[in-house]
Amino acid sequence: MNQIKKLLIIGFVWPEPNSSAAGSRMMQLIAIFAANQFEITFASPALDSEFMVDLASFGVEKVTIELNNTSFDDFIIKLNPDVVLFDRFMIEEQFGWRVAENCPQAIRLLDTEDLHCLRTARHKAFKENSPFQLNDLLVEEVAKREIASILRCDLSFIISEFEMKILEDVFKINTSLLYYLPFLVDEMFEIDLEKLPSFEERKHFVFIGNFLHEPNWNTVQYLKEAIWPLIKKGFPEAVLEVYGAYPSQKVLQLHQPKEGFFIMGRAANACEVVKKAKVVLAPIRFGAGLKGKLLEAMQCGTPSVTTSIGAEAMHGNLFWNGFISDEVEEFANYAIELYQNENLWRQSQKNGIAIVNECFQKSQFSSQLIDAIHTLSNQLESHRLQNFMGSLLHHHTLKSTKYMSKWIEAKNKN
C-alpha cells in the first residue's frame, strides 16, 4: 500500500466553523486527515476573515494563493502533494487544470458541500411558485458546470444520500466516482443528556444560520411573516431568538421585541446558544445537502421543528427529534406542543441521540475514507482509464479554462 502523506486543500473560503455548517464540515475533514498523519496545507484565494479558524493551531499550514496566476504552478510543483482536495466545484474549475498539469499523479478529490444545482433549481422553482421536478436539474446551467467538475475528479464527497441518488439516477454518474460522506460527529449516550440544561432550565425558541446563505434568510422571513404570528396567538409568552453570522440590514429590520421576535446577530458560541434554547425552529423551504443547524440541535439535546427539505436525508428510517411539517398551521401547533409537553420533549431528545449515532458516527466513516483513498492511490491509472468522460472533459473543457486563465493573467499584467 502506498503511503500517502501530503494533502493540499484548496478552499473557497477560510474555514469559519462558528459561522456555517460548511466551515464545520471542513474542520471535520481536516481532523480525519490529521489523525491519519497527513501533512496538511490549506490554500485559498479568499481574503482573511476575523472569524476564520487558526489553522496553525491544528497543525495546518496556511497559504494564500492567487486566481489566474502562474505563481500557483510554482507553489504546487514545490509542494508536490499526494492528494488535492477542492472545496466546492468552483475551486476545481479554477485550479483543477493546474493541478492536473503540474501534479498529474496527485489524487483529485472534490468536497461538493451540497449539490449547488439542486439548491439553485429548488430556489428557482420556489420563486416561480411551481413544483420542483428532478428533471429541472437537467436544464440548470450550474448543473453542467458542477457535474463536469465531479467527472473530472477522481472521487467526490457527497454529503446526502438523496444527492447520491440524484447523481446516480438523474445524471448517470458512475458510483466509482462518488463517496457518501455525511457530517461526522462523536457518539452520544443518554447519560450525556444529564450534562445538558434540563427542560425546566431552558427557555425560548431559537433559529440559527449564516445569512450569506439565501435559504436561511428566506427561512427567517417565513418565520416572521407566516409562522410566528400563529405561535404567538396560541402561546402569547413565546419568544424567538434569531442568531446568525453576517446579518444584513434587511435581517436586522425584522427585530420586533414587542412581538417576541429578537434578531440577536452572530452567536459567540452557537452550541451554547442552542443548549439553552428549548426548541429549534427551522422551516426551510429550499436548499440542498444536510442542515448543520439541525444536527447541532440534536447534539445539544434540543428538539426541533423543521420541514421535509430541512430533514431531508438526515434521519434514515428513524423518528425525528421533534416534528416535520410543511404546513404553516401544523408547524406552529407542533412548535407549541413540543415546547410545552415535557414527555414529548424528552422523547424527542432521545430520538436525536439515535439519529446522531445511526447516521453521523465519525468512527463508522473516517477509517473507511482513508482506506478508500489508499485503494484509489494504488489503482489510480485504471480508475482514470475507466472514467473516459472525465478524461474527455479534461482534454476539452479545461483547455478552454486554461487559455482563458492565461488570457486574464496576461491582461492583468498590462
68-85 pLDDT per residue, tens: 999 999 999 999 999 999
90, 33: one domain? yes
| Inter-residue contact 34 to 59 (CB < 8 Å) | yes
The larger pLDDT score, comparing residue 158 to residue 406, is at 158
Establish if 90 belongs to a structural domain: yes
Grid look-up 488535492 returns: 84
Helix (H) or strand (E) holding 298: helix 292-299
Residue 132 makes CB contacts below 8 A (sequence gap 6+) with 121, 122, 125, 126, 286
| Inter-residue contact 261 to 182 (CB < 8 Å) | no
**How sure is the predictor about 410, in pLDDT bands with cuts at 50, 70 and 90?**
confident
300, 333: one domain? yes
The whole-model pTM stands at 0.94
SS3 of the chain: helix, strand, coil, percent, to 5: 50, 15, 35
Helix (H) or strand (E) holding 373: helix 362-378
Domain count, the chain: 2
Amino acid letter for position 86: F
10, 40: one domain? yes
204, 223: one domain? yes
- Predicted confidence at residue 398, as pLDDT, reads 63
Strand order in the sheet with 240-243: 261-265, 240-243, 205-208, 279-282, 304-306, 322-324
125, 200: one domain? no
Domain containing residue 43: 6-184+362-413
52, 145: one domain? yes
- Predicted confidence at residue 1, as pLDDT, reads 42
Is residue 405 scored above 80 in pLDDT? Answer: no
170, 44: one domain? yes
Establish if 386 belongs to a structural domain: yes
* CATH code of the domain covering residue 348: 3.40.50.2000
CA distance 57 to 249: 34
259, 142: one domain? no
- Predicted confidence at residue 399, as pLDDT, reads 65
193-246 residue pLDDT tens: 999 999 999 999 999 999 999 999 999 999 999 999 999 999 999 999 999 999
Establish if 1 belongs to a structural domain: no
216, 67: one domain? no
